[in-house]
Structure formats: structure tokens, C-alpha cells
A and B are shown apart, each in its own frame.
Chain A
Amino acid sequence: GQQLNQSPQSMFIQEGEDVSMNCTSSSIFNTWLWYKQEPGEGPVLLIALYKAGELTSNGRLTAQFGITRKDSFLNISASIPSDVGIYFCARPAGGGADGLTFGKGTHLIIQP
């Protein structure tokens, strides 16, 4: 399937800073999803986007579906220690597989 390019691979930030990460694809998709995974757990859905240009918030998290339909962004404002984890973008795998294709993740580390 098509690869998703997620960046950055990791982020080391101070508590209180804002965070921004993005995901790009060479193909157009109608759905972008953002998940967070904490150690020893499965991913948890944060935000789902279904329309180009859509901007959706979930608390301090905001995600946008790029106008080109080939990218998406996730921002976290005023980071706190519990934001630590790996953030994954995902989109439908396509080709009738009906699963999701995930990016390789952005590992967020927060220094107090």
C-alpha cells in the first residue's frame, strides 16, 4: 500500500510548549485519523477528519485535513507530562483491504 510520511520522528520539548507534527502521502484520501499510543497499550483514536480543509479540536489537540487531501497536521498546545507517547497518523489502506495504514509515528518526550 501507499506509505505515509510522518514527521518529525521524535520531539524533545519543555512542558508548556506547543507541538506540531504532520503526515503526508503521495495519494489523495478522504479520511485522516490521528492516534496516540502509550507504553504497553494499544493506540487510542484522538481525532478523525473526513473533509479537505476540515479543522477539528479535541481539548488542547487540533488537527487539520490539508486542502490538497494529501496531508494532515496535528498540533498540541501547552503540552503537559501526560501528552508523552507516540502519535500516529493513519488513513484507509485502500484496495478493498478495509484496514488502516499507519505512519511510523512521532515520539513525543516532554522534559519538566
Chain B
Amino acid sequence: GAGVSQSPSNKVTEKGKDVELRCDPISGHTALYWYRQSLGQGLEFLIYFQGNSAPDKSGLPSDRFSAERTGGSVSTLTIQRTQQEDSAVYLCASSPGGWTQYFGPGTRLLVL
């Protein structure tokens, strides 16, 4: 069946602009996760949704970052007033439960 999909696959933006990243999880997966991967680094956990609620938002790097999930399915990660240090690959994962997470291909964000 279909895996996790993310859009856009690549995004180039100018410093100060807002960007919105989308994640479509695997159908039926109740848990959804966002991670950030900077060049040559491991993955940094940002936020987790169980259903539509995010119990812990402390992993978000700053108040310019926000995320929402509607209908227990699609999630969007929004970065306001982007900065050059926001350049990274943003990965989404979903899970039916437990610690097995299925990752999407990521959105490569470049802030000029």
C-alpha cells in the first residue's frame, strides 16, 4: 500500500518568508511525528501527534514553528519568518502504535 508522502519534495524560499510543509501518513496510523535533519546530522525530534492532539510541543526549535493535524490524518508544519538556519530536511513519520515508525521521503528546505 501507499507509504508516507510529503510535499513539496523541495522548497527554496527567501529569508523572512513563511513556509508550509505537508505530510500524508499511512492510512489508519494514529501517531504522526515530525523530525528535522540538518546536513550530515542525525534526526532531531520536533513534535508528535496522537490523533489530532500534540501532547508535547517542547521539541519545536522556536515559536516560529507550529504544527497541526486535522481529521487524524494530514499534518502541516509551518515555519514563519524563515531563517537560514532553518535549512534542513524535514521528515515526517507515522506509526500504528509502538515504536515502529515509517518515514516519508522528506521535504528539503533551503532558505536563501
Which of B42, B46, B103 is A42 in contact with, Cβ under 8 Å? B103
Binds A, one of B12-20, B55-63, B69-77, B78-86: B55-63
Given contacts A99-B59, A100-B99, whether A43 and B105 have CB atoms under 8 Å apart is no
Interface centre among A1, A6, A42 (most CB of B within 10 A): A42
A13 an interface residue at 8 Å Cβ cutoff?
Answer: no
A7 CB → nearest B CB, Å: 13
Query: 8 Å CB contacts to A: which residues of B87-101?
Result: 91, 93, 99-101
Instruction: Name the residue on A nearest B98 (C-beta).
Output: A48
A104 an interface residue at 8 Å Cβ cutoff?
Answer: yes
Interface centre among B47, B48, B99, B101 (most CB of A within 10 A): B99
Instruction: Name the residue on A nearest B104 (C-beta).
Output: A42
A5 CB → nearest B CB, Å: 11
A65 an interface residue at 8 Å Cβ cutoff?
Answer: no
B45 touches A43 (CB 8 A): no
- Residue count of chain A within 8 Å CB distance of chain B: 27
B106 touches A98 (CB 8 A): no
Given contacts A99-B45, A99-B48, A101-B45, whether A45 and B101 have CB atoms under 8 Å apart is yes
Query: 8 Å CB contacts to A: which residues of B7-61?
Result: 31, 33, 35, 41-48, 50, 55-56, 58-59
Which of B4, B43, B100, B106 is A102 in contact with, Cβ under 8 Å? B43
Interface centre among A1, A96, A100, A105 (most CB of B within 10 A): A100
- In the bound complex, CA of A98 to CA of B44 (Å): 13
Instruction: Name the residue on A nearest B45 (C-beta).
Output: A99
- In the bound complex, CA of A103 to CA of B91 (Å): 16
A98 touches B56 (CB 8 A): yes
Query: 8 Å CB contacts to B: which residues of A52-92?
Result: 88, 90, 92
Residues in B lying within 8 Å of A, measured CB to CB: 4, 31, 33, 35, 41-48, 50, 55-56, 58-59, 91, 93, 99-106
